[in-house]
Amino acid sequence: MNEDWQSIAAVAVIIVTVVLFAIRAVKRRKKPGCGGGCGCGK
Amino acid sequence: MSTSAPDTPLIAIVGNPNSGKTTLFNLLTGLKQKVANYPGVTVEKKIGECYSQHGKKLRLIDLPGAYSLNARSPDEAVLRDVLLGRRPETPRPDRVVCVIDSANLERNLYMVSQVLELGLPTILVLNMIDVAAQREWHIDAKRLSEELGVPVVQTNAVTGAGLIELKLTLSREDLAAPQWENAALPEGVRAALEHSRDELRQTGAIHTRSSLLEPLYLLSDHDPTHYGIADSQMARIHELRGRMEADFPGWEDALVAERYRRIEELCAKVLKRPDQEIETITTKLDRILLHPVLGFVNLLLVLGLLFFLIFKVAEGPMGWIETGFGALGSWVEGLMSPGDFRDLIVNGVVPGVGGVVIFLPQILILFFFIGIMEDTGYMSRLAFIMDWAMSKVGLNGKSFLPFLSSYACAIPGVMAARTIDSPKDRLITILIAPLASCSARLPVYSLLIGVLFPAGRVSAWVQAGIMLGLYALGTFGAFFFAWVFNKCVMKGSASPMILEMPAYKMPAIRSILLHVWQRARMFLVRAGTIILGISILIWAASTYPKTQGDTSAQQMEHSFAGRAGKFIEPAIAPLGYDWKIGIGLIGSFAAREVFNSTMGVVYAVESEDDDNLAPLRDKLAGERRPGGGLVYTPLVCISLLVFYVFAMQCVSTVAIVRRETGSWKWALFQLGYMTGTAYLLSLLIFQIGSALGF
């Protein structure tokens, strides 16, 4: 992968991450609580 | 009403707390289990699978421990609602396995009698039969089976004795409904309940085919969380309850007394015990472990041992993980040509995720140790010993159990405060619970202690001592604030504590290891999702916007993260922190352990490639200010450690406190007082230490 493609891939990964976090935040608003994600297991 | 699929029968495992119910569930299902939450409540839902003697698949559900179907907590409400088939996401069980502690037969039979009244085919498991035998108790299981009309199996969940008999009984398809007669309701009460049932049906609070038990539990639950029942319906239930109490004063107490009378009659037939209590191992051990002085000394020894193990035993596996992540970074570096994507992996993902995963062995040891303390029965003694200390700050030992849970994670600790009857004590417990050093603080403590006292220069005992000191500081801080809140914010008298002291027993190692495995999986899933995502974002914030011709250090300074760190630098400089630590503080506001991944990414991005795979601890220890002085001096490390002892730095806890207290007021108050204390103490330490020449 050359440098240009690497730059595009890095930005794409960042955008996907932001989108996934946004979806997670919206879901959390609908269903508050740790949801087991905190590691507490509750 | 929801029912189970006919081809895979659902079997509910129910019982009092400390009856060995979960150990039995783990023994039956092994690794074939799934842990989730019941929607709407943070109560664990465990479903597993096993096979009957004929190879038929059986589904088992481990319901929360409870003393009665008259729910007084969300856990008990889940049990009641599942057994009544009220929860749409969980089918009504086809069968029930009632696990009882044989050494506490009468008390355990109370809930059993309520379960039998539901009419579901039931199997009674007399667990901990060894403990009853130590007391020279002889339970006539055959007679008990005849009296109740249900199969009775004797087991010892720790050794697995009786498991085959239980599996054989589970395989029976001819289980009849129990013969236990419903609680005798006085005619007036029965008529009133029938009338109430009609009214509740009209409001839609209960379905049209409900038995009299449903209005009975609705009207006799005093702190209920009724699934699917609206607030307006609850108001109606309160009104009906008031009317019942006015018309038939003491009707609930009379029902309880009648139920115990019948249980006493039953026990007289099936239980033979010596006239005088036999001295058991539990009584002998309690003489030492509950002694006012020896008990406290023992507690300190146990905790000292825990932290020693955390440092000494975890050292090896932590080294392997560190080497593994280093090798992974080198491998990717050699595999790919230079570019942003390679940087993202080598300087973002690998150090970010690795910086947290490395602490997995320590967290596993912590959970294993907590499991041992819970399973042996020592945890309840801990609460008893601490009741004395808690009473000094206006709380009781009941507050200590949620506080103790908070050492693993503040969220279950805050949730566990629901068991506290007094609203004042409950609120104070919620406010102080996050001061217990949770497992998320462990990676931060370990990293900074490693910088402060590198391994090899001091013994593991010294490192363990410092760790114990940090835990003690958090505990002391929690007690201090409980006292302050009691004296100044919420005045009132302390309420007494009622606590069950289970008999000591050998820990069920298999069950504990299963629990540790579940925690390990959750920790790794979190590292592979949230921590991975945050590492990517921190890398992005530390890399963009790109500037031409700058060195890596200048690039970092001009990045979004660098600007954010620089922005808060004036506020944190008096604490001894530079702007890069500021980035760590901002990053870890969401969760404390993110500090490690943030610092891992920040130093990896900034380095000029030659040392970017060195352990984070070494990078921190070698980091210098522009003037040449070390950034992480002992004073800065101590200041930072104290900051993390007291600062909230956990968005999930803020959200849970908001939900549990019902308003933002207390959640924000807690955030404010904890962050303010952290800032003030760190400031004092750094400024006084600097003035004294440290």
> How is B159-198 classified by DSSP, letter by letter?
TTBTHHHHHHHHH-S-PPPP-PPPP---HHHHHHHHHHHH
Alpha carbons B94 and B79: distance in angstroms, whole number: 14
Dig out the tokens for B387 from the structure.
Answer: 């009741």
Start-end of H helices in B420-578: 423-432, 441-452, 460-484, 509-526, 532-543, 552-558, 560-572
Domain ranges, residue A27: 1-32
Task: Give the confidence band of A33 by pLDDT, cuts at 50, 70, 90.
Answer: very low
pTM for the whole structure: 0.68
Please write the tens of the pLDDT for every residue from B333-364. Answer: 899 998 899 989 988 888 878 877 877 887 78
Tell me, what's the pLDDT at B681? 96
Tell me, what's the pLDDT at B373? 85
Task: Give the confidence band of B491 by pLDDT, cuts at 50, 70, 90.
Answer: low
CB distance B68 to B263 below 8 Å: no
Chain A closest-CA separation from residue B396 CA (Å): 24
Tell me, what's the pLDDT at A36? 43
**Which residues from A are below 8 Å from B344, CB to CB?**
10, 13
**Which residues from B are below 8 Å from A20, CB to CB?**
533
**Which residues from B are below 8 Å from A42, CB to CB?**
37, 42-44, 409, 411-412, 415
Q: Do B340 and A41 touch (CB under 8 A)?
A: no
Q: Do A34 and B411 touch (CB under 8 A)?
A: yes
Q: Does residue A31 belong to the interface with chain B, where contact is any CB pair within 8 Å?
A: yes
> Is A3 a member of any domain?
yes
B457, burial (CB in 10 Å: exposed 0-12, middle 13-18, buried 19+) = exposed
Place of tokens 């659902």: B10
| Check: complex ipTM more than 0.90 | no
B52: Cβ contacts below 8 Å, ≥ 6 apart: B58, B167, B170, B171
Torsion of CA B71, B77, B80, B86, to 10 degrees: 140
CB distance B278 to B330 below 8 Å: no
Tell me, what's the pLDDT at A41? 37
Chain A closest-CA separation from residue B536 CA (Å): 7
Compare B576 and B617 and report the one with higher pLDDT: B576
Which amino acid appears at position B245 of this protein?
A: E
Alpha carbons B655 and B650: distance in angstroms, whole number: 9
Task: Give the confidence band of B302 by pLDDT, cuts at 50, 70, 90.
Answer: confident
What percent of chain B has pLDDT above 90?
22
Which amino acid appears at position B28 of this protein?
A: L
- To which H or E segment does residue B65 belong? none
β-pairing, B57-62 vs B10-15, is parallel
DSSP B613: T
Compare B618 and B6 and report the one with higher pLDDT: B618
B393: Cβ contacts below 8 Å, ≥ 6 apart: B479, B480, B482, B483, B486
What percent of chain B has pLDDT above 70?
90
Task: Give the confidence band of B613 by pLDDT, cuts at 50, 70, 90.
Answer: very low
Q: Is the pLDDT of residue B611 over 50?
A: no
Alpha carbons B213 and B219: distance in angstroms, whole number: 10
Q: Does residue A14 belong to the interface with chain B, where contact is any CB pair within 8 Å?
A: yes
Tell me, what's the pLDDT at B152? 94
- To which H or E segment does residue B615 belong? none
Tell me, what's the pLDDT at B277? 77
Chain B closest-CA separation from residue A32 CA (Å): 8
Smallest Cα–Cα separation from B10: which of B60, B67, B70, B78? Answer: B60
Start-end of H helices in chain A: 3-30
Which amino acid appears at position B575 of this protein?
A: L
Alpha carbons B527 and B357: distance in angstroms, whole number: 7
Nearest CB partner across the interface for A9, out of B341, B409, B533: B341
Task: Give the confidence band of B687 by pLDDT, cuts at 50, 70, 90.
Answer: very high
Residue B17, preceding peptide bond in cis (omega within 30° of 0): no
Alpha carbons B5 and A4: distance in angstroms, whole number: 55
Mean residue pLDDT of chain B comes to: 83
What Rg do the C-alpha atoms of chain A give, in angstroms?
A: 16
Distances (CA, A) of B386 to B398, B428, B527, B682: 10, 16, 34, 28
Chain B closest-CA separation from residue A38 CA (Å): 7
Distances (CA, A) of B605 to B123, B306, B555, B560: 61, 36, 9, 13
B357 phi and psi angles, rounded to 5 deg = -60, -30
Tell me, what's the pLDDT at B494? 57
**Which residues from B are below 8 Å from A38, CB to CB?**
409, 411, 526, 591, 652
Q: Do B533 and A20 touch (CB under 8 A)?
A: yes
Tell me, what's the pLDDT at A38? 40
CATH classification number, B10-171, choose in 3.90.79.10, 3.30.70.420, 3.40.1160.10, 3.40.50.300? 3.40.50.300
Q: Does residue A32 belong to the interface with chain B, where contact is any CB pair within 8 Å?
A: yes
Phi-psi region of B228 (alpha: psi -120 to 50; beta: other; left: phi over 0): left
Smallest Cα–Cα separation from B391: which of B382, B404, B400? Answer: B400
Chain B closest-CA separation from residue A39 CA (Å): 5
Q: Do B342 and A6 touch (CB under 8 A)?
A: yes
Chain B closest-CA separation from residue A14 CA (Å): 7
Tell me, what's the pLDDT at B39? 53
Smallest Cα–Cα separation from B686: which of B640, B649, B645, B648? Answer: B640
Total domains present in chain A? 1
Dig out the tokens for B176 from the structure.
Answer: 């009849």
Alpha carbons B482 and B488: distance in angstroms, whole number: 10
Range of weakest confidence among B190-204, B315-329, B600-614: B600-614
β-pairing, B138-139 vs B122-127, is unpaired
Q: Do B533 and A21 touch (CB under 8 A)?
A: yes
Q: Do A7 and B537 touch (CB under 8 A)?
A: no
Alpha carbons B533 and A18: distance in angstroms, whole number: 8
Place of tokens 């709407």: B40
Compare B176 and B633 and report the one with higher pLDDT: B633
Q: Is the pLDDT of residue B58 over 80?
A: yes
β partners of residue B3:
B92
Size of interface A-B (CB pairs under 8 A): 100
Q: Do A17 and B537 touch (CB under 8 A)?
A: yes
Q: Do B412 and A31 touch (CB under 8 A)?
A: no
DSSP B349: I
Alpha carbons A36 and B196: distance in angstroms, whole number: 38
Say how many C-beta atoms besides its own lie within 10 A of residue B330's C-beta: 13
Q: Is the pLDDT of residue B6 over 80?
A: no
Please write the tens of the pLDDT for every residue from B510-558. Answer: 888 887 888 788 778 877 888 788 889 888 888 888 877 777 777 778 8
B305: Cβ contacts below 8 Å, ≥ 6 apart: none
Nearest CB partner across the interface for B409, out of A3, A13, A38: A38
Please write the tens of the pLDDT for every residue from B246-263. Answer: 888 888 888 888 889 999
Among all residues of chain B, which has the CA nearest to that of A42? B44
Which amino acid appears at position B445 of this protein?
A: Y
Range of weakest confidence among A25-39, B217-231, B578-592: A25-39
Nearest CB partner across the interface for B337, out of A1, A38, A40: A1
B472: Cβ contacts below 8 Å, ≥ 6 apart: none
Q: Does residue A22 belong to the interface with chain B, where contact is any CB pair within 8 Å?
A: no
CB distance B625 to B632 below 8 Å: no
Distances (CA, A) of B126 to B67, B166, B404: 16, 10, 30
B260: Cβ contacts below 8 Å, ≥ 6 apart: B106, B110
Compare B262 and B458 and report the one with higher pLDDT: B262
Tell me, what's the pLDDT at B492? 61
> Is A41 a member of any domain?
no
Place of tokens 């505990």: B475
Nearest CB partner across the interface for A41, out of B522, B537, B591: B522
> Is A4 a member of any domain?
yes
**Which residues from B are below 8 Å from A22, CB to CB?**
none
**Which residues from B are below 8 Å from A39, CB to CB?**
409, 439-440, 519, 522-523, 526
Q: Do B338 and A3 touch (CB under 8 A)?
A: yes
Average pLDDT over residues B397-415: 75
Nearest CB partner across the interface for A14, out of B411, B530, B536: B536
Q: Is the pLDDT of residue B668 over 90?
A: yes
Domain ranges of chain B: 10-171, 187-247, 296-351+354-489, 509-691
Q: Do A13 and B530 touch (CB under 8 A)?
A: no
**Which residues from A are below 8 Å from B652, CB to CB?**
34, 37-38
CB distance B277 to B150 below 8 Å: no
Compare B311 and B51 and report the one with higher pLDDT: B51
**Which residues from B are below 8 Å from A27, CB to CB?**
none
Reported as half-sphere exposure (CB side, CA atoms, 13 A), residue B463 has a value of 27
Alpha carbons B88 and B81: distance in angstroms, whole number: 10
β-pairing, B95-101 vs B33-37, is unpaired
